[in-house]
Amino acid sequence: MFMADKNKNMDMDKTMRVGVVGAGWIAEKAAITLNGLRECECNAIASRSLAKAEEFASQWNVPKAYGSYAELIADPEIDLVYVATPHSHHYDVTRQAILAGKPCLVEKAFMANHAQAEAIVKLAHERKVFLAEAIWTRYQPAVGIVRGLIDSGRIGTPRLVTATLGYSMGDKPRIMRPDLCGGALLDLGVYALNFVRMFFDADIKSIESQCVKSATGMDLTNAISLVLADGVLCNLQSSAACVGDNIGVIAGTDGNLIIDNINNPQKITVNTHDRVFVEDIHVPKQITGYEYQFQVCRQALAEGLLEPREMPHAETLYIMQLMDGLRQKWGVHYPMDDEKW
């Protein structure tokens, strides 16, 4: 675990002031979430357009609006920069923030590819700046609940994992355009891969996969089959072209767990032999489900960590490498893949 200099640690009596970069869809969810937390605050919003930033600030009660990302990064009051641009722009924004010594929480997919991810993690380590991937499911209470159920042996030995995530979002430029790192994998498939890795850390022995592409060459719908070294088979699907059931199932020798849903688990159903219902476990009441990632960042900054325990850099890099391999097989190519980072 990488640690920062102790004298830079966040004071746990203080509110963590978050600066949000990019005034889009997820930025709104972040503002709603932060507005609901006492220990955190959405302190500033940055957009490429000042008018858009000001509108966002007035709608969500944000004290400061900036018409450039650089101004927010330079603001000495910001404790954490939350990078909420398309994946294609995560690298540049995060690099600028790290160079300015600002802790960063970066939306998923973390970067365009593994090379970018490796370069940015290296920079954060060199500069001793906290860096985390905003893969919200990793920070949520469902992780501990499901792990506990598996470890308790209630479903016997896990043998099969299935997970689907699908949203009809083929109208979004950031899904369709290669220069915005489009496709379902980096946007949605990343959750399915994390769903497996949150509960199973055995090496991947083999991968089979296929996808259906858009006219722009991005994966719109994909299917990935993994065999893990401990004999667990995982069938994962994601689609930006249809509405999925978004359910995850962990099937064991003595029963199964049904997780509804893999993109913000609300309910875990436990079934035993012959699919006999045992119980439904509901997660605690949430603001949006995004609060946990901000709370984890605040705690990590107080402890002087440079990465969250819940999602270490090695894990982010592992997932990025997996996604590079899948895209390479499918011929889903981004302009960033041709550059050195």
Binding-site ranges for ligand NAP (CB under 6 A): 22-26, 47-49, 52, 84-87, 89, 107-108, 134, 136, 174, 180, 187
Nearest CB to ligand NAP, comparing residues 180 and 211: 180
Nearest CB to ligand NAP, comparing residues 84 and 220: 84
The CB density around residue 258, as the number of other CB atoms within 10 Å, is: 18
Nearest CB to ligand NAP, comparing residues 130 and 290: 290
Q: At what angle do helices 25-35 and 291-303 cross, to 10 degrees?
A: 70
- HSE-CB at 191 with a 13 A cutoff on CA atoms is 26
State the distance between the two ends of the chain, measured CA to CA, in whole angstroms.
24
Residue nearest to ligand NAP (CB): 24
Nearest CB to ligand NAP, comparing residues 303 and 337: 337
Q: Least distance in Å: CB of 172 to ligand NAP?
A: 7
Structure tokens of 154? 């209630």
Amino acid at 173: P
Q: Least distance in Å: CB of 75 to ligand NAP?
A: 16
Give exposure, 91-107, as e/b (b: 16+ Cβ within 10 Å).
bebbbbbbebebbbbbb
Q: Least distance in Å: CB of 125 to ligand NAP?
A: 23
Answer yes or no: are the C-beta atoms of 20 and 93 closer than 8 Å: no
Nearest CB to ligand NAP, comparing residues 21 and 258: 21
Q: Least distance in Å: CB of 233 to ligand NAP?
A: 27
Q: How far apart are CA 52 and CA 82, in angstroms?
A: 17
Nearest CB to ligand NAP, comparing residues 85 and 162: 85
Q: Least distance in Å: CB of 329 to ligand NAP?
A: 22
The CB density around residue 250, as the number of other CB atoms within 10 Å, is: 26
Q: Least distance in Å: CB of 83 to ligand NAP?
A: 8
- HSE-CB at 39 with a 13 A cutoff on CA atoms is 14
